[in-house]
Amino acid sequence: MSSQSLYSLLETPVDQLVEQSSESLLRIKRSADEQFAVAKSAMAHIDLALELKYGRRAHQLRLAMGKDTGVVHFDDGQVQITADLPKRVEWHQTKLADIVRRIAASGDDPAQFVEISYRVSETKFNAWPQSLRSAFVPARTVKVGKAKFTLGRVGEGQP
């Protein structure tokens, strides 16, 4: 299936696709999966080239601005480059818990300084005896994700 075929596929109403045979849907799905994998690899390849071409310049601009992350803009000929290096902050949970205990012990409200959230492992929850689970059920909401269907020929195994 060519990229042009993908565009025409996207113009096909879903109710017409539903009428396709399972073999046809399998062929279409495999072709789209293959093109997606190729496109994803191509994007990674291009992104690596962009990092090699512009990474140093973006880094130097950030340093000149007194920052080591964030967005910088610059031109390369007639092309404007926007380089974004996002900041990802992670907090050590055990150390934060110790700090929260010290704040509470000093008489201050930890909620003034930190956001606190609670999680329960679904695996652990399911392993608990019913008597313990029942106490947690009112605080638990189950949401479903998007359904996923995998197609393959009978006897072929999974794709």
Which pLDDT tens digit goes with each residue over 107-133?
999 999 999 888 999 999 999 999 999
Quote the pLDDT of residue 73: 95
Quote the pLDDT of residue 159: 52
What value does the mean pLDDT take over residues 4-22? 90
Residue 3 clears pLDDT 70, i.e. is over it: no
Quote the pLDDT of residue 6: 84
CA trace torsion 127, 131, 136, 140 (10° rounding): 60
Q: How far apart are CA 152 and CA 159, in angstroms?
A: 6
Residue 145 clears pLDDT 60, i.e. is over it: yes
Domain map (residue ranges) of the chain: 3-85, 93-137
Quote the pLDDT of residue 32: 92
Burial label for 1, CB within 10 Å (0-12, 13-18, 19+), is middle
Q: Which pTM does this prediction carry?
A: 0.69
State the chain's maximal CA–CA distance in angstroms.
69
In this predicted model, what pLDDT tens digit does every residue of 76-110 receive, in sequence order? 999 999 999 999 999 999 999 999 999 999 999 99
In this predicted model, what pLDDT tens digit does every residue of 33-65 receive, in sequence order? 999 999 999 999 999 999 999 999 999 999 999
Work out the pLDDT band at 150, boundaries 50, 70, 90.
Answer: confident
Residue in 84, 88, 87, 86 with CA at minimum distance from that of residue 58: 84
